[in-house]
Amino acid sequence: MKYYLTTPIYYVNAAPHIGHTYTTLAADTIKRLKRMQGYDAVLTTGTDEHGQKVERSALAAGMTPEQFTAIVSNEYRTLWDRIGIQYDHFIRTTDQRHHETVRWLFERCLANGYVYKGTYTGQYCVSDEFYVNDAKPGDPCPTCGRPTETITEENYFFKLSAFAERLLKHYEDNPDFVQPESRRNEVVSFVRGGLQDLSISRTTLKWGIPLEGKHVTYVWFDALTNYISAVRDAAEGGSGEALWPADLHLVGKEILRFHAVFWPAFLMAADVALPKRIFAHGWLLFENDKMSKSRGNIVRTGPIHETIGIEALRYFLFREVVFGQDGAFSYDALVGRYNSELANGLGNLASRTLTMIHQYRGGLIPEASNVESALAATARTAIDHASRAFDAFEFSKGLEAIWIMLSATDKFIVEQAPWKLAKAPGDAARQQLDDALYASAETLRIAVALLHPILPESTTKIWEQLGMTPPLATFELAKLDWGQLTAGQAIGQVAPVFPRMDAKSAIERMRVLEEEETIRQAKVLGRSVEATPEVPAAKVDPPSPKIEIDDFVKVDLRVGQVLSAEPVKGADKLLHMKVDIGEPEPRTIVAGIAKAYQPAEMVGRKVVIVANLQPRKLRGIESNGMIVAASLEGGKPILAGFLEDVPTGARLK
């Protein structure tokens, strides 16, 4: 059975950071899981290398686009190799096979009547590479705030407007096509709002894939096609097509619309099979903000890997963050999880269990009088719960089930006290010691088998220390059960897998290496390094006068989800938003957060709304509610939000 999955291809206008790593580690984990489930899993990743922004970045760095893209693409590939990503295909949009596949898809859409020539005059944002509707010359881009440029040119247009009903029917017939459910609802709402035809070529751009005449493919028609290019032979009908359609596209939530609307429409137009599933994960937040180059709050993977190891990051991301939702990252939390759950938890259990087997039984797995020990039921529950959770990409829930089993094993060892049994006389004590050591080792074996997709390197070490000879990566998870550890099996040499870290020195080292890596990456990209401004400590206002509980309950606070956001013309601080709070129609809310949050960042975000305020007109727009945010003197507002999934419309109490 084949299982073909992809990461997005990463844009070469920036060097890799932890956000790119998050998606790629998730894909690597799923690939390893599918292999242990018997699938022939194939993973594609790569780099997106065309566009005017890349062309200008190359010029600014004193390089040709070919030189610039090759250097940055190599940054990604080198990092993935360094941290052990098991990708099968690394596609670059500058590859000749990709050029041929894009032209093949374009010609199929053209032949089927879904591509036509037209002329477009409008405002274009070079930074975000899209036309800004209803903008005037000089108006800022609603996403990044930079000035737009007026462009008139002949384009090829794709008839996206013709696919609204077909897309909605596909979403309805295939409820798992877009996941998680909250993201699916956003996509459905967007398509129901109506689709406009899409420009898919440029004549003023040179750095791209040539079509006919002066036309060059434009952004998404080029980039999205990589998923086929990577596994399709250059000639139509090549054997590489056997892997298509993809079983899974993993993407960040900010590019879901392009994957769940544009991409299936392109494929429908070309009579090509659609991918089976698109899963959008949330953002990693650092100090309450999405990590981004413009904010200067990027965290890079290399310093973490060099200080504490990539397995610590793998575990943290999938244990700390509910996959599909936004999650917070900090160095303190990373080291804390590592020490408490890997060093003191799994690592300590492995070390003391195997050490006791060496010490008390000469390095041989003892024979249990009754394999069905007190831990057997706990282990089988963990196998069931973790397996079902991992299948649903609920990694944090699966890890929680495994750690419940490990905690029960720690308690079991304390209660059995093997160090006392080893000194006690008589056959009964000897057998009880054998039973305790066998049960502890068997739980350890089950834990590392379940954990292998997430912690491939460390679990392999523990597996080998247990004396297991079949490679762990090829173990069939479907056959995992209690009682499969062979009595009399010789264990290997015991060595620590997760040495405890001193939090202060580890965090300090990561910060130092982060600064060094920032400078190195800037030099690679031919850019200068700007000093990070110091953020002054915020003044905290004294508490307001106390109120009665009856006054507080008058305030109706609700969970709202932002459906759309756009700047208010003539007001640089205001955003005009449509917010769903569970009512039949979304609320119109105007908020003074435009200098802190771009419109694209707000769409899909869950916020806290004061729902029972009297309406108020701002710049001619009636605002029906207020968004709750922390207000820092001289600083930007910080929106109140949620790290856990909360239903839209829920009331805060």
Question: What pTM does this model have?
Answer: 0.79
Q: Is the pLDDT of residue 30 over 90?
A: yes
Q: What integer best gives the mean pLDDT of the chain?
A: 90
Structure confidence by residue, pLDDT tens digits, 181-201:
999 999 999 999 999 999 899
Residue-wise burial string across 293-306, b where 16 or more C-beta atoms lie within 10 A, e elsewhere: eeeebbbbbbbbbe
What's residue 235's pLDDT? 38
Angle of CA points 212, 11, 216, to nearest 5°: 10
pLDDT in tens, 446-461: 999 999 999 999 999 9
Structure tokens at 187: 């996509």
Parallel, antiparallel, or unpaired for β 40-48 and 284-286? unpaired
DSSP letters of 426-464?
Answer: SHHHHHHHHHHHHHHHHHHHHHHHHHTTTSHHHHHHHHH
Q: Report the pLDDT value the prediction gives residue 533, as an integer from 0 to 100.
A: 45
Q: Which amino acid is at 243?
A: L
Q: pLDDT tens-digit profile of 545-603?
A: 788 887 787 899 999 988 888 888 878 788 899 898 988 788 999 998 888 887 777 87
Q: Is the pLDDT of residue 238 over 60?
A: no
What percentage of the chain reaches a pLDDT higher than 90? 68
pLDDT at residue 143, rounded to an integer: 64
Which pLDDT value is given to residue 137?
A: 84
616: part of which helix (H) or strand (E)? strand 616-618
- Give the mean model confidence (pLDDT) for residues 112-118: 95
pLDDT of residue 456: 98
Average confidence (pLDDT) over 348-368: 96
Assess whether pLDDT exceeds 80 at residue 89. yes
Contact 623, 532 (CB under 8 A): no
Q: Tell me what the mean pLDDT of segment 276-304 comes to.
A: 79
Residue 531 has pLDDT above 80, yes or no: no
Distance CA 103, CA 91 (A): 16
pLDDT range class, residue 20, cuts 50, 70, 90: very high
Given this model, what pLDDT does residue 111 score?
Answer: 97
Please report the pLDDT score of residue 287 as a whole number: 59
Torsion of CA 153, 157, 161, 165, to 10 degrees: -160
Instruction: Please give the Cα distance from 588 to 604 (Å, whole number).
Output: 15
Which domains occur in the chain, in start order?
2-114+160-290 (3.40.50.620), 328-479 (1.10.730.10), 549-652 (2.40.50.140)
The whole-number pLDDT of residue 632 equals 60
pLDDT tens-digit map of 463-488: 999 999 889 999 999 999 999 999 99
What pLDDT is recorded for position 48?
96
Q: Determine which helix (DSSP H) or strand (DSSP E) holds 503, and give its type and residue range.
A: helix 503-524
Q: Is the pLDDT of residue 237 over 60?
A: no
